[in-house]
Chain A
Amino acid sequence: MASSGIVEQIVLFDAVPFLTGHWLHFMTLHNSGFVILDHPDYDPGGATLLIYDPAILDTSTAAYIEVERILNTTQTLHIDGAKNCFKVMFLLGDQQTFDRMNVLISWKPQQYSWAIPVNGDFHFAAHTVMCNHDLYFLPFSSWVVTKMGMEKVVKETDDNIANFKQYDHFYLLLTLAIVTLLNSVFDMAQLNFPESIAEFVRGNQGEFCYICVAFSLTSP
């Protein structure tokens, strides 16, 4: 590992049990007749409390000095007593903000000991989808895009986050199609062991049986 204190704390994560758990969960759901793309439908129990603070003008999140300004404004308002005297504060932001906050905290650990940066969930989802896209577009999903005539909305490269929903919908659709196909080919007794299925189709490099890709895509 690198010598930076931050990097040294990273613990290697064994993803296989995590992926296998999700694989089994979604395969079982689909096999039981549930729509795996459904979103939770429940009563959250009243209004969500949100309090807007004044916007910080003429500031973005690209430069360290700007993110430092955000941290200092938050500290004035919510740590040092202008509005609150929190001892710790979770701070959600986009990828840029999250990244720069972590670096600033490593530079000034005492000053920002109250700050706990957290990935914003939208940004986390968007980056995950685009990572999958970068990994699998050429070997796999480009074939689907061509077959379905979706070249104008799902491209090999796209740097506009405003188009994220197009990619999200495409990969959700593709995931559902893969799960439906696998359930029509294998029974649940076989699907309970994804490694043996992967071994079974290892020799197939055809268009339909790229099981490793399917395993990854169907295990969010």
Chain B
Amino acid sequence: MGSATSLAVPSWQVDGSREPHLQFANDATRSALKERLLSGDYSDLTAAGEVNPQLKAAIVALIGARDTESTDEDAAENEQPSVISKRRAGLELIVTIATRLRNQNIYNFLAVVLSVLALGSRVPLQFWGILTMMGVLFSDRWTRDLVKEIGDEVAASRHPHASVNIGFGVTDNKAYLTKVTYINAHVEGLIDAPPRANGQFLYTVNNLQVPVIMPHGIDLEMERGALSSP
């Protein structure tokens, strides 16, 4: 990728072995995207600009802005190397939109992270739709599917040092009026049951589990009920 006639995209966002219409959104690129989101390494936030230095330089020259990298050096001096300067973020957004104008299915990392943040910030869907139309965000539905997919994978994963014998669970009840936006408004698995009415009072018990991490990965051997009262 990266020919003189087209925008380049980071190597993990494209699989050249696929048919042209499947090169950007496929299992391999989606897996690479989820791996980056889970790794905690967000250095790829500015990857689109980094693989298109000529485009960045042209925009900077056209606008007459200062060199966008200089503020990063200032940030490094202030021991905040992870801070991205305003100018660099703005320029990255321009390249991001340009990238998504080329193909809206490209998993541009900045657009993905912004979309997840929008979901977490409860951006109103009407405004979200406008930002999606402009290429700034992925759609609300796409973002929900992505985070649910990641959540399911995390829930199914196992910490290498987590105990297989000792569990730790937290449970508590919550009651609220159902709204159509709540995921519990529809009951999965009950084919004949009508969806809950908007405004219906719903009792739920919410459960979470905390993996018990064993020091050095050495688990305690025990039988069922080993710690119960005689």
User: A55 touches which one: B166, B168, B205 (CB < 8 A)?
Assistant: B205
B211 at the interface (CB under 8 A from A): yes
A74 within 8 A of B: yes
Contacts of A187 in B (CB 8 A): none
Q: Which residue of B lies closest to A50 (CB)?
A: B208
CA distance A84 to B166 in the complex (A): 10
Q: What 0/1 pattern do residues 77 to 106 of A give for CB contact below 8 A with B?
A: 011000111111111111001000000010
Give the contacting residue for B170; candidates A56, A86, A93; CB below 8 A: A93
What residues on B are CB-neighbors of A148 within 8 Å?
none
Closest to A113 in B: B225
Query: Is A59 interfacial (CB 8 A cutoff)?
Result: yes
User: Is A49's beta carbon under 8 Å from chain B?
Assistant: yes
**Contact (A84, B229) CB under 8 Å given A57-B204, A60-B203:** no
Q: Report chain A residues within 8 Å CB of B218.
A: none
Determine whether the beta carbon of B184 is less than 8 Å from that of A113.
Answer: no
In whole angstroms, how far apart are the Cα atoms of A140 and B109 in the complex?
Answer: 60
Asked whether A56 and B207 contact (CB < 8 A) given A78-B169, A86-B167, A114-B228, the answer is yes
Number of interface residues of A (CB under 8 A): 41
With A85-B164, A109-B228 already in contact, the answer to whether A56 and B169 are too (CB < 8 A) is no
Rounded to whole angstroms, the CA-CA distance of A144 and B79 in the bound complex is 49
In the bound complex, residues from chain B placing their C-beta under 8 Å from that of A37 are none
Tell me whether A48 and B210 are in contact (CB under 8 A).
yes
Partner of B171 from A48, A51, A91, A114 at Cβ < 8 Å:
A91
**B205-A91 in contact (CB<8A):** no
A57 to B165, CA, bound (A): 28
Give the complex CA separation of A114 and B223 in angstroms.
9
Contact A51 B187 (CB under 8 A): no
Whether A94 pairs with B167 at a CB distance below 8 angstroms is no
Total count of chain B residues near the partner, CB < 8 A: 38
Contact residues of B between 42 and 61, Cβ < 8 Å to A: none
Chain B residue contacts of A61, Cβ below 8 A? 171-173, 205
**CA–CA, A97 to B168, complex, Å?**
15
Interface pair A52/B169, CB less than 8 Å apart: no
From A48, A93, A105, A120, name the one whose CB has the most chain B CB atoms within 10 angstroms: A93
Inter-subunit contact B169/A88 (CB<8 Å): no
**Shortest Cβ distance from B159 into A: residue:** A49
Cβ–Cβ contact A88 & B205, under 8 A: no
Q: Is the CB of B208 within 8 A of A57?
A: no
Complex formed: what's the CA distance from A87 to B167 in Å? 8
The answer to whether A59 and B224 touch across the interface, beta carbons within 8 angstroms, is: no
Asked if B62 lies at the interface with its beta carbon under 8 angstroms from chain A, I say: no
- Binary contact track A39-74/B, C-beta < 8 Å → 1, others 0: 000000000111111111111110000100010011
Contacts A57-B202, A93-B170 known; A87 to B223 CB distance under 8 Å? yes
Q: Decide if A116 is an interface residue (CB 8 Å cutoff).
A: yes
Query: Closest Cβ of chain B: how far from A102's Cβ, in Å?
Result: 10
Q: Which of A57, A89, A115 contacts B166 (CB 8 A)?
A: A89
Report how far A74 CA is from B206 CA in the complex, Å.
11
Contacts of A51 in B (CB 8 A): 154-155, 208-211
Given A73-B207, A79-B224; 9 other pairs, CB 8 A cutoff:
A53-B208, A55-B205, A66-B205, A87-B165, A88-B224, A88-B226, A89-B167, A90-B169, A116-B227
Closest 3 CB pairs of A and B: A113-B225, A86-B167, A89-B167
A positions within 8 Å CB-CB of B: 9, 48-61, 66, 70, 73-74, 78-79, 83-94, 97, 105, 109, 113-116, 120
- Sample 19 A-B pairs with CB under 8 A, ordered by A number: A52-B206, A53-B207, A57-B187, A59-B173, A59-B205, A61-B171, A87-B165, A87-B223, A88-B224, A88-B228, A89-B168, A89-B169, A90-B166, A90-B169, A92-B169, A105-B228, A109-B228, A113-B224, A116-B228
